[in-house]
Structure 1
Amino acid sequence: MSARVGVVTFPGSLDDGDAARAVRLAGAEAVRLWHADADLHGVDAVVLPGGFSYGDYLRCGAIARFAPVMQTLADAARGGLPVLGICNGFQILCEAHLLPGALTRNQHLHFRNRDQMLRIESTATAFTNGFEPGQEILIPVKNGEGCYVADERTLDELEATGRVVARYLQGNPNGSQRDIAAIANEAGNVVGIMPHPEHAVEALTGPSLDGLGFFTSVLTHLAGTAALPAGANASGVSA
């Protein structure tokens, strides 16, 4: 029986269909979850997709953080449920305090839509165990509020505990501090990434197949062949 990966749709979600397709291409069953439904329907993992949830009023992700589905999801994530937040989903995870820091307006004040090189910094997460440490990948980035910021103490902690999951290469598209493109929580089951791996899963649409690894990695994690040690942080070091 294949794993069931939920994909949440908020009002204003744009990439939920793409995320569901990526889940299916990875070999799992995509389960569509509605923002107003607190029931996760027994899924094994969840993807929070990109878009403009609730029109991005107030702050990006600030309203979605209070959606009924997020109340249930937050508890499940703290209990170990794998959760991947992509772009707006990353913003929602920060607003929900499942990840530290915040995503703010791009430093240059322009929307950026381009293919972006990344370096995988940590493979000890539920969504990156299929990569090699230091592996360079190419996936699209498209955001206007993708600048990751946090205080220096938080940034130092992320670095020291191996929770910086990916960094921008060949140019920082939004001014994110320390070129951070993706981070994880202490347990490594929650990952937020600003670029869009779901748009790099097929040769037809390109620009590569590199994004598929995020979705196959979670299936490996769920199968138990890359289970994170109990009490370990994203660097694999016991807390």
Structure 2
Amino acid sequence: MSAKIGVITFPGTLDDVDAARAARIAGAEVISLWHADEDLKGVDAVVVPGGFSYGDYLRTGAISALAPVMQSVIEQAGKGMPVLGICNGFQILTEARLLPGALTRNKGLHFHCVDAHLVVENNTTAWTNTLEKGQQILIPAKHGEGRFQADAETIAQLEGEGRVVFRYTDNFNGSVNDIAGISNETGRIVGLMPHPEHAVEKLTGPSIDGLELFLSAVGTIAA
């Protein structure tokens, strides 16, 4: 049977269709999840996609983190279900306390829309195990609040435990230690600001490097 990957849609989400297509290309069966759903419909993994959920009111991701579907995601993530948060999804995961730290306004307060070169720092997570440590991948980034920050103790813990998953080669948003993506303690939950789902087809992306994250998840589920 195919891996079942759920893709959540919140009011204001705009990258759910792209995330669903990426998962399908990777060979998964995609299950659409609505923000008001409490039932995750038997999915094996969840993608929390990018966009402007709830209009980014209050704080980016803060309202979405309280949605019924996220309460179910938090519960299942605690049991080991793989979860990927992309851009606004990464913000939601930090607000839901599934990942530490916070995403704040970019340095200079500019919105950036660029193709970002990332270095793979950890290739043992559920979402990066088809990549090579030290490999550079090229995927789009588009955000105004992607500056990763955390207290010194948390940064030391992330670095010491190898939980920094991706780093920017050009730290355009001012993130601490060039951090573009991190994982939880088990490596089953990953969040990153750039968009792998926009780099899965040669026709539309700067590369197909982003497909590897979805292939990794499908392989993790199969294993």
- Indicate the TM-score class for this superposition, using the shorter chain for normalisation: over 0.9
Q: How does 1:107-186 map to 2 (within 5 A)?
A: 107-169=107-169, 171-186=170-185
Query: 1:93 deviation in Å?
Result: 0.2
The ranges of structure 1 where at least 4 consecutive aligned residues each deviate by more than 4 angstroms after the TM superposition are none
Task: After superposition, give the CA deviation of every residue in 1:149-195 in whole Å (9 maximum; x if it has no partner).
Answer: 000110010000010000001x1121110000000000110000100
RMSD over aligned Cα atoms: 0.5
Alpha-carbon distance in structure 2 between the residues aligned to 1:131 and 1:179? 19
Query: Which one-letter code corresponds to 2:135 in the other structure?
Result: Q
Count of matched residue positions in the alignment of Structure 1 and Structure 2: 223
1:176-234 residue CA offsets vs partner (Å, 9 max, x unmatched): 1000000000011000010000000000002000000000001111111xxxxxxxxxx
Deviations 1:115-167 (A, max 9, x none): 01000000110000000010000000000000000001100100000100000
1:81, CA displacement in angstroms? 0.3
Shift of 1:108: 1.3
Q: Which residue of 1 aligns with 2:206?
A: 207
Residue 59 of structure 2 aligns with which residue?
Answer: 59
Between the aligned partners of 1:55 and 1:61, the Cα distance in structure 2 is 9
What is the one-letter code of the residue matched to 1:134? Answer: G
State the distance in 2 between where 1:164 and 1:38 align. 31
TM-score, with length taken from structure 2: 0.99
Report the residue type matching 2:210 in the other structure. Answer: G
Gaps of 5+ in 1: 225-239
**Matches of 2:102 and 2:79, distance apart in 1:** 23
Tell me the TM-score normalized by structure 1: 0.93
Measure the CA separation in 1 of the matches of 2:161 and 2:124.
Answer: 11
Distance 2:158 2:50 in 1: 23
State yes or no: 1:76 paired with 2:76.
Answer: yes
- What runs of 5+ residues in structure 2 fail to find an aligned partner? none
- The amino acid of 1:203's aligned partner reads K
| Counterpart check, 1:190 vs 2:208 | no
Distance, in Å, in 2 between the alignment partners of 1:206 and 1:6 is 23
Residue 25 of structure 1 and its aligned partner are, at CA, apart by 0.5
Identical columns (%): 65
Query: Cα deviations across residues 47-70 of structure 1 (Å, max 9, x unaligned)?
Result: 000000101000000000000000
Alignment partners' CA distance in 2, 1:56 and 1:149: 18
